[in-house]
A and B are shown apart, each in its own frame.
Chain A
């Protein structure tokens, strides 16, 4: 009918060849995309498909030395909404605002915000969250979280510190050991469709959270509790501004108790004390008051140590061999240094006395004399050896530095006042560290709270180590000092800390706060036991007591009381003959 030519078949053949070539090219293109670019596209697609939800990691616990939990976690929930999944916005707003006791408008604003995820409220009680969960509201996410709780509210508050909204440490050990305590958050990867809805029956890839490691501290719940009670008691009796107590082991620097009353409630760290008037204060002023309240005074603040510092002067003198225990002195009640007449605390003077008696009497002229014999340069050598120019290295943040005269500025008057602990400032822990070295045979320790870290998974315990430096004081001097300081307690100005049967050494102090003349004092007592081989040291500071303010009168008995309770507890043996219980508390002893 019609012509069908060969060329037409040829043209068809050409067409089919071209198609085959195109097919080959497209196969090559597919190979390139599906083999060479595959991993990249797959990764990009995966990012699109997966919604990541974080699983909060519980924070590590803080224990005392006997396993008492000082900082714990409580399960709470974070409630948030995923806008793309919301179905009944009005109901969501209604339910959330009523259960969470939030302003309806505030909730509405968050619910209506077009974001992938909007947090409504965190730290919601688990029970309350379960009630909300029961509504099965589409688009409302309830995630478990942890909130830090402190079972003993205010116990060791200034040491432990607390955590913020994201469970991060804010102050104290919580921030110092952030890296240890903080866990590694896990995550849930959920497959979602293009609308952000979870794909049903899809496998969730889940990376579990790893709990933070636990911190084992040297704190002893019982000693801390008792020390705190004693501090509150004396604070009340003397209507003092604050009272601090440090109980530690002078051999290794472990701190058994660190009290600064008034303490604050760690579970409500932003609630100021009842006696603090907050009316009419700006937010900034309130914040400053909070910061003040959180201070760990024995670490963050310095003070003039007063007579307790005579321990250092005596040690320097003995080390320099410029004085012997039996050397004779005469105290007329004052000492003229250059043009000044520096008085002894005992108005009439102590009269003739040996060095030992001078120490027992805490006689200022004796120490001025001895200090003069040592000389400023040598005195500073011992200050340095005893770590008074450096921070102690204690494991809480914000440690203060000592405030000292420059050596070239130390003239006779400065040297004289420094000999009995005035005209410079150190922290209580620096004093503890220096006296520990004096009585423990000459080893400069690092006072610390953290003793070990327990792995939350493996329960493996890793001991923490701290630097020590031996040879600060010779063994003989150490021995002599222990004897002298025991005499202070057994027969001298520290009598009120005496405890029948126990070998207790110590030194009293009363320092007038700057500016002088305002009759504001810090009364303190530093004691340790047993004197043969000291295993516990206590420093008590009463800040601005009313009425009688002598350390020997008001501080020493408190330390005596603390020793009375903790020495048997710490299994310190009685090595001295027991005396009849004739405890003469509150005899006025000036120092």
Chain B
């Protein structure tokens, strides 16, 4: 079996030259544009609510800005460090993340009816956001170590169960993040695994688990989200979706202009959070929305380029994890605000308000950049 796998192992025949230390500036610029654009949009969407609520229009943008700054510095620092350092700490990270998730489940503070926050002194962090990065790193190691056994169903199941433990811990309180994690894990697994049959079996198992969650665990998913999705206008709880559609529809082709949204005046609840894309549509129109989507595609294609050009599987899997993370989150978010899928609370990467999210996402990008330095360049 292993031999069979090995025969498939073909290194690219194209001649490549290692250019160690070469920095991917395009990637950096795309990320910087996204961060700055995100801050502008957070200010635009939140200043009205912030000034009525905190008497400080910049309340949220300043907080987000601080986290982004910290994250940006961390990103640059991480990009300069060899990512293999995480290889060593991957198991430790995995255990720490699981402990943290368990801790927050048991002792976390309840905010908005869900235990999601961990308080360390004056800071509050969302362990589920930390989990995304930590799990990408540890999954990458898990899959790399077992890459030659993974074709076997037995190993695949073992790996899956291991991967599922933190996801279940997240999913008890926060199903939408768990779904993102499942998607990340699944994509990483899919990319690693040579055979499709075990994957299909796993996929069916995952669907079965989702079904169990839907009926037992995921309290978010009760209350007829499916019905709301089918006709948000007929349902009182469809308010958020309806307001989001109003905002998107009001944007039209060219939008109302930056800062001109009316839906952010309390109509779209917490417009600077998960629903921020709807306000982007309202203010910048279809053209602006396309611009944002193109930026994300640019980022994803840039990451794809890295995957194609690195030699190291561990590095490649980290980048694939990041691609899965960003890609899934962006399109699930847009699909939710446009009522293309049932409502689930997923932030728009780099743009939505969320300190832990932006800081750790930037750390993730730092690691990705570090991988990108090992890219081979075509002659």
Question: A19 to B331, alpha carbons, bound, how many Å?
Answer: 8
Cβ–Cβ < 8 Å partners of A30 in chain B: 248, 281, 286, 289-290, 334, 338
Cβ–Cβ < 8 Å partners of A1 in chain B: 144, 312-314
Question: A303 to B246, alpha carbons, bound, how many Å?
Answer: 69
- B247 within 8 A of partner (CB): yes
Q: Are A26 and B293 in contact (CB under 8 A)?
A: yes
Q: Using known A-B contacts A12-B320, A37-B249, determine if residue A5 contacts B10 with beta carbons closer than 8 Å.
A: yes
- Chain A 15-51 interface mask (CB, 8 Å, partner B; 1/0): 1100110110011011101110110111011001100
Cβ–Cβ < 8 Å partners of B12 in chain A: 6
In the complex, identify which listed stretch (A111-119, A191-199, A280-288) lies at the interface while the others stay far away. A191-199
**How far does the Cβ of B339 sit from chain A's closest Cβ, in whole Å?**
9
- B316 within 8 A of partner (CB): yes
Q: Which residue of A lies closest to B249 (CB)?
A: A41
- B58 within 8 A of partner (CB): no
Cβ–Cβ < 8 Å partners of A518 in chain B: none
Determine the interface band of chain A, counting residues with CB < 8 A from chain B.
35 or more
Q: Are A9 and B314 in contact (CB under 8 A)?
A: no
Question: A7 to B262, alpha carbons, bound, how many Å?
Answer: 49
- A571 within 8 A of partner (CB): no
**CB contact list, A297-335 vs B, under 8 A:** none
Q: Using known A-B contacts A34-B248, A45-B249, determine if residue A3 contacts B327 with beta carbons closer than 8 Å.
A: no
Cβ–Cβ < 8 Å partners of B249 in chain A: 33-34, 37-38, 40-42, 44-45
Interface residue from B6, B252, B267 paired with A38 (Cβ < 8 Å):
B252
Interface residue from B8, B262, B310, B338 paired with A45 (Cβ < 8 Å):
B262
- A2 within 8 A of partner (CB): yes
Q: Which residue of A lies closest to B10 (CB)?
A: A6
Number of interface residues of B (CB under 8 A): 60
Q: Which residue of A lies closest to B282 (CB)?
A: A45
Question: A27 to B296, alpha carbons, bound, how many Å?
Answer: 13
Cβ–Cβ < 8 Å partners of A11 in chain B: 190-191
Interface residue from A23, A44, A191 paired with B297 (Cβ < 8 Å):
A23
- Chain B 273-315 interface mask (CB, 8 Å, partner A; 1/0): 0000000010001100110010011001100100110111110
Q: Are A20 and B147 in contact (CB under 8 A)?
A: no
Cβ–Cβ < 8 Å partners of B263 in chain A: 45
- Chain B 152-190 interface mask (CB, 8 Å, partner A; 1/0): 000000000000000000000000000000000001001
Q: What would be 17 A-B contacts, judged by CB atoms less than 8 Å apart? A: A3-B6, A7-B8, A7-B194, A8-B313, A12-B304, A12-B308, A15-B187, A15-B191, A15-B320, A16-B304, A27-B289, A29-B338, A34-B251, A34-B286, A41-B249, A42-B250, A45-B247
Q: Which 10 A-B pairs have the closest CB atoms?
A: A41-B249, A194-B266, A193-B265, A45-B246, A4-B313, A11-B191, A34-B286, A42-B250, A38-B252, A2-B313
Chain A interface (Cβ < 8 Å from any Cβ of B) = 1-9, 11-13, 15-16, 19-20, 22-23, 26-27, 29-31, 33-35, 37-38, 40-42, 44-45, 48-49, 191-195, 199
**A16-B300, A26-B338 given; 6 more Cβ-contact pairs under 8 Å:** A3-B5, A8-B191, A30-B334, A35-B252, A37-B249, A48-B267
Chain B interface (Cβ < 8 Å from any Cβ of A) = 5-6, 8-12, 48, 52, 144-145, 147-148, 187, 190-192, 194, 245-253, 262-263, 265-267, 281, 285-286, 289-290, 293, 296-297, 300-301, 304, 307-308, 310-314, 316, 320, 323-324, 327, 331, 334-335, 338, 340
